[in-house]
Structure 1
């Protein structure tokens, strides 16, 4: 899906349902769609802020305007990529609010990464365990562990309305990048299956439009990843290939600017297939396991 025509509703506070509002950050790109969507959950009696986004003055000012005089009871981060969590600390200082949510994570791998780098400044007041809840006046958020895109990824379920805030685990505009070594395809697929077993009414992703038919959408995502896996096995059955040899064939017609990100997910598939004994490698060259 390409980017929609401008103007985008950057900085505007949009009401999505009685307990949910959204403010779009000014960081649109081919990797973030129109930008990171920060969600305000609750009412003037007390709010939770989900994915405060980048530490960008205009975005923080828009969030403060949307919050008004409402007490901020929690600032929740789904994961620690730089387009999601850096705004947590300055917003916490301004609103005297605790930072809750995913565990901190920073990797020093020396590898070139196609997705956003990790936020090394993220320091939560409390890490939420799977199933742990945050409560406010008239609302309850439950943490749902969904590793895969990153090992520390959480979704947040709004129990009162059946909404699920899916961060980057499920996006409304594109498939999610799964970038090793922290991203793990087996974990990602298991997390998709976990959400498929739930009965959420609607998904609110950090990027792209809301998903109004979640289980149908998840079936498509799971099917897409399984198709990519079969495609890799078929191509390797024809001849040995590197990741950079697979990507142009698998993603023919896709903007070449996105090929590095696609290559990360292809590598994640290969590592999963290797663990399952279906492929092997010699250096950078992959082949069907003998």
Structure 2
């Protein structure tokens, strides 16, 4: 996981190619700075790809950007949502209320929205983070949970989509040839959109030019292998006819194949480091997370970043168990892993799982929303 160290400057509204606009929508109090919302011009009205964070300043920026493109919010025909995270789907409800636009999302992400719309009380959130870190193997004196700096009361519920996206479908963007590509990993239903006649990929958070998305365990798929899904999804979009990538953060770029190989190498290096760590003996999930190299020293990460790092480490350990390179010590607390034995001791149980559902979060190395 990698996060930017300082807020990215907000770029101007831009016409990417005739009829396709990039509109930066701010994410308050977040080092990413903004979400790139894209708007297709069609004879039915604009079709957005993502909508942005649900905040008054974000809404005003979206409306102003549409105005520069010659549209009003009431003109919007539809919204294609890459995934359900609030910096991508947050304003979809307001767009629907203003225009009656349809909202489309992959069903695996749509199914998670009811859980995401329930805001935890602050004490409950703090207790959950503390228990997760203790379960991973953190000592009590290592846990100092601070209130969320961005907490502003209950988060408004995000709208439930009224259309489903399926892998390979031609989506409803009149006058354009746009194909949905299901790319699970960062979220279970993450979807990219390939503009077939322009060689472009609207990549959401799947492939970013200089940072990597958070890949962690999800409550929606307790038995899944999100890192394995993500690595496969990277190869899926590495197509020679895609010449330009339009990501949801940072800036567009044109070296997709190179960037895919860089991201795969990054995760393979973490996997190799974890295997090497286990070669010296069993390790708790906390110890394994601390052993990895993050974009800042471990003691400079706050507890929410520790939570995210532990969650991503858990996803890597899940993938290693699927490869047969690690095993969880069954029934042991805190969660502990060891190198997989080719001839397991019949008196010692193994559990080939990461051992915990850590839920959705972002953190050091992945971008924070």
TM-score range, shorter chain: 0.7 to 0.9
Aligned to 2:233: 191
C-alpha displacement at 1:193, in angstroms? 1.2
> Could you say which structure has the larger radius of gyration?
2
C-alpha displacement at 1:145, in angstroms? 0.4
If the length of structure 1 is used for normalisation, what is the TM-score?
0.86
- The whole-number CA distance in structure 2 between the counterparts of 1:56 and 1:119 is 10
CA deviations over 1:187-233 (Å, ceiling 9, x no partner): 11110111124531111111222222111111111121112111111
C-alpha displacement at 1:58, in angstroms? 2.1
More helix by share: 2
Distance 1:4 1:19, change over 3 A: farther
- For structure 1, the 5+ residue unaligned runs are none
Whose RCO is larger (CA < 8 A, sep 6+)? 2
Asked if 1 retains the 8 angstrom alpha-carbon contact of 2:7 and 2:32, the reply is no
- The whole-number CA distance in structure 2 between the counterparts of 1:281 and 1:256 is 26
- The whole-number CA distance in structure 1 between the counterparts of 2:260 and 2:213 is 12
Asked if 2 retains the 8 angstrom alpha-carbon contact of 1:14 and 1:23, the reply is yes
Distance 1:146 1:259, change over 3 A: same
Aligned to 2:350: none
CA deviations over 1:229-261 (Å, ceiling 9, x no partner): 111111111232122212232125525244432
More strand by share: 1
- The correspondence of residues 73-92 of structure 1 with structure 2, limited to 5 A, is 73-92=77-96
Distance 1:66 1:44, change over 3 A: farther
Alpha carbon RMSD of aligned pairs, Å?
2.9
C-alpha displacement at 1:63, in angstroms? 2.0
1:285 aligns with 2:336: yes
- The correspondence of residues 6-155 of structure 1 with structure 2, limited to 5 A, is 7-9=9-11, 12-27=12-27, 33-42=32-41, 46-68=45-67, 69=71, 71-103=75-107, 104-106=110-112, 112=129, 121-155=158-192
Asked if 2 retains the 8 angstrom alpha-carbon contact of 1:164 and 1:204, the reply is yes
- The whole-number CA distance in structure 2 between the counterparts of 1:8 and 1:86 is 19
- The whole-number CA distance in structure 2 between the counterparts of 1:161 and 1:127 is 24
Q: How many residues align?
A: 285
- For structure 2, the 5+ residue unaligned runs are 117-124, 134-154, 342-369
Asked if 2 retains the 8 angstrom alpha-carbon contact of 1:139 and 1:158, the reply is yes
Aligned to 1:267: 314
- The whole-number CA distance in structure 1 between the counterparts of 2:315 and 2:156 is 22
If the length of structure 2 is used for normalisation, what is the TM-score?
0.69
